[in-house]
């Protein structure tokens, strides 16, 4: 049943007959609006993560205007609210430190102001989960509008993919196979339009997940940022969110265990970023749903990876869009999805896939001819990761998926940087590189350091992959036999902190095993002698983060933000 005007949340600000409402109305008129522009209309927030340092969102000021156009058309009143951009490009030590900051900001922006519905504008890695976590907790009618991928990179007639080709060609440069001049030419060609990274990195993974969850309009996540269809999608989001306010269609009406299972299935079929696991656990937590890491592994084992996209495959997001995009991909694995889950469009997921079709079988493979028979992520357990660790087997050299080798341990990132290219480092291709103190608290912020560089002396010998283990994350555009998210992390005394040079480590991906072959007695001795490092922050957001962040297998959300009773609405006066 359609909501009445008096039931709008914003009515409490604009509709009452009291002194405060006089202030709210007169100050809205101060901006040049007449009463009929806003009174009685749903107030739609456009939460915009644009900034001059959010390179993936450089088109967002124009897109925000296009969203507004749709809101006006549908009889709403649009208001643009800037939010922290959390850009992957520049933030140190890691934008992951600030994902929860954006989530808090989004939730409180909406709660404290006269907002009835929201269009969330993000795309660069952490912005998707950050915006959605806040919106789920606030639970107003919400549409996620993804930034869209940038165009393919180009260098000397070769197609370049964000991140993936940076790692690849940097290794070649270190091996002496690429000149400074060629490296500089690549710099000109790898990011040549607005939009987020165009490999199947974290950004493309998370926007695909948002769409599969039902939180974006069907088809939205695959449109390249500079395609005119992207502008039209912006306007469509503006129109639709106004209808959603009247229908009172909220995230809690859309998000279910089944919609999260669909999202995990999509993640596996696209060969999504390992980061998606952390973000999905956090998103589900906000919806009051507990996602165990084992569920990811179960779904992975019976989901074929059919998106032939880098870093696990060959193509890029622009090709994916021309091949039919996410809807086409989902239509190929319908039998693995719960098709009656709801979407913001008002249709079910199944209805939204009805007209989808694949136009290029090489980019979106048939399930009978997948890129990989199982999904893109495996979850490992063992005495080195009692609460789990993850690996992306499809992006690793297959010979390393069952490997036993001696550890070469780096105490932290600075130690790694200082010694990895030392010609005297005792390391060979069978070694297992271990990085400690790179987790949620140790990094801090669990930076994307998990693709430890291959030592230069091994690069020169043609080695391009080795087993690497850390409590860090890895860029979704990265690749290699990298075991990530080891939990609990070393900074709080997890078993990773106890590894010493020369210890034998066994990785067995088919058996889902990660074992440190050191006797229990020896480990007990090391544990007794282990000393915690001092905290990184004495004050500010860093101290708040350190006091409340959860471990990787819990999604790294703040304990105080995970599902609980709804926060009360602000008082009227
Ligand atoms: Fe923004 Fe990669 S830097 S998505």
Q: What confidence tens digit (pLDDT) does each residue in 409-464 have? A: 999 999 999 999 999 999 999 999 999 999 999 999 999 999 999 999 999 999 99
Task: With cut-offs at 50, 70 and 90, classify the pLDDT of residue 174.
Answer: confident
Structure tokens at 5: 């005007």
Question: What integer best gives the mean pLDDT of the chain?
Answer: 95
Under 8 Å between Cβ of 254 and 341: yes
pLDDT of residue 376: 79
For residue 469, the cross-strand partners are 434, 483
Residue 81 three-state SS: strand
| pLDDT tens, position by position, 451-466 | 999 999 999 999 999 9
For ligand 1, atom 1, name the residue with the nearest CA. 124
| pLDDT tens, position by position, 309-346 | 998 899 999 999 999 999 999 999 999 999 999 999 99
Q: Which of 508, 542, 260, 515 is nearest to 402 (CA)?
A: 508
- pTM for the structure as a whole: 0.95
| pLDDT tens, position by position, 29-81 | 999 999 999 999 999 999 999 999 999 999 999 999 999 999 999 999 999 99
Average pLDDT over residues 123-149: 97
* Cis amide bond preceding 300, omega within 30: no
Q: Ligand 1, closest atom to CA 54?
A: 1
Pocket of ligand 1 contains residue 291 by CB under 6 Å: no
| pLDDT tens, position by position, 486-518 | 999 999 999 999 999 999 999 999 999 999 999
pLDDT of residue 544: 97
User: Which of 162, 200, 474 should be mutated for ligand 1, with most atoms under 8 A from CB?
Assistant: 162
Helix, strand and coil percent figures for the chain, each rounded to 5: 40, 15, 45
Based on its alpha-carbon atoms, the radius of gyration of the chain, rounded to whole angstroms, reads 24
Q: What is the DSSP letter of 335?
A: G
Share above pLDDT 90 across residues of the chain, in percent, rounded to a whole number: 92
Pocket of ligand 1 contains residue 124 by CB under 6 Å: yes
pLDDT of residue 171: 86
pLDDT of residue 572: 56
- What is the Cα 242 distance to its own chain's centre? 27
| pLDDT tens, position by position, 527-558 | 999 999 999 999 999 999 999 999 999 999 99
Structure tokens at 572: 């009227």
Pocket of ligand 1 contains residue 162 by CB under 6 Å: yes
């Amino acid at each position: 049943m359609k909501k009445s005007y008096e039931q709008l949340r914003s009515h409490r600000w604009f509709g009452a007959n009291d002194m405060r409402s006089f202030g709210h109305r007169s100050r809205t008129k101060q901006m040049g609006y007449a009463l009929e522009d806003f009174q009685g209309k749903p107030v739609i927030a456009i939460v915009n993560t644009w900034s001059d340092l959010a390179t993936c969102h450089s088109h967002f000021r124009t897109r925000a205007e296009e969203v507004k156009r749709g809101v006006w058309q549908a009889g709403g009143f649009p208001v643009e609210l800037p939010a922290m951009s959390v850009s992957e490009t520049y933030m140190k030590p890691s934008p992951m430190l600030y994902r929860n900051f954006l989530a808090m900001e989004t939730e409180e922006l909406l709660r404290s102001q006269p907002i009835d519905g929201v269009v969330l504008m993000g795309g660069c890695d952490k912005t998707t989960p950050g915006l959605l976590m806040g919106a789920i907790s606030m639970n107003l009618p919400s549409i996620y509008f993804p930034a869209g991928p940038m165009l393919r990179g180009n260098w000397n007639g070769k197609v370049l993919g964000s991140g993936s080709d940076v790692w690849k060609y940097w290794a070649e440069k270190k091996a002496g196979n690429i000149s400074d001049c060629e490296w500089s030419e690549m710099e000109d060609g790898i990011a040549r339009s607005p939009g987020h990274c165009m490999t199947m990195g974290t950004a493309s993974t998370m926007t695909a997940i948002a769409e599969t969850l039902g939180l974006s309009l069907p088809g939205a996540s695959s449109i390249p940022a500079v395609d005119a269809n992207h502008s039209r999608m912006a306007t469509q989001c503006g129109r639709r969110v106004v209808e959603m306010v009247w229908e009172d269609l909220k995230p809690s009406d859309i998000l279910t265990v089944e919609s999260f299972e669909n999202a995990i299935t999509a993640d596996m079929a696209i060969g999504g970023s390992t980061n998606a696991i952390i973000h999905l656990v956090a998103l589900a937590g906000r919806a009051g749903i507990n996602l165990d890491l084992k569920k990811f592994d179960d779904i992975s084992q019976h989901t074929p990876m059919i998106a032939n996209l880098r870093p696990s495959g060959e193509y890029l997001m622009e090709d994916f869009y021309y091949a039919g995009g996410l809807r086409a991909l989902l239509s190929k694995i319908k039998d693995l999805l719960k098709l009656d889950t709801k979407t913001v469009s008002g249709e079910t997921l199944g209805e939204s896939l009805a007209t989808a079709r694949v136009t290029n079988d090489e980019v979106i493979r048939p399930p009978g001819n997948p890129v990989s028979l199982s999904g893109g992520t495996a979850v490992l357990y063992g005495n080195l990761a009692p609460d789990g660790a993850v690996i992306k087997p499809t992006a690793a050299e297959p010979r390393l998926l069952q490997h036993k080798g001696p550890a070469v341990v780096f105490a932290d990132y600075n130690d790694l940087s200082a010694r990895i290219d030392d010609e005297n480092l005792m390391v060979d291709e069978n070694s297992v590189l271990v990085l400690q103190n790179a987790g949620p608290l140790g990094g801090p912020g669990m930076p994307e350091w998990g693709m430890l560089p291959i030592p230069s002396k091994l690069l020169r010998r043609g080695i391009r992959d080795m087993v690497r283990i850390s409590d860090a994350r890895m860029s979704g555009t990265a690749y290699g036999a990298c075991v990530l998210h080891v939990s609990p992390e070393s900074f709080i005394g997890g078993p990773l902190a106890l590894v010493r040079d020369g210890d034998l480590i066994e990785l067995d991906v088919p058996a889902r095993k990660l074992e440190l072959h050191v006797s229990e007695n020896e480990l007990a001795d090391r544990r007794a002698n282990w000393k915690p490092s001092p905290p990184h922050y004495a004050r500010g957001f860093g101290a708040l983060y350190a006091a409340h962040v959860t471990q990787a297998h819990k999604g790294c959300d703040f304990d105080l933000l995970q599902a609980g009773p709804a926060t009360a609405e602000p008082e009227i006066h």
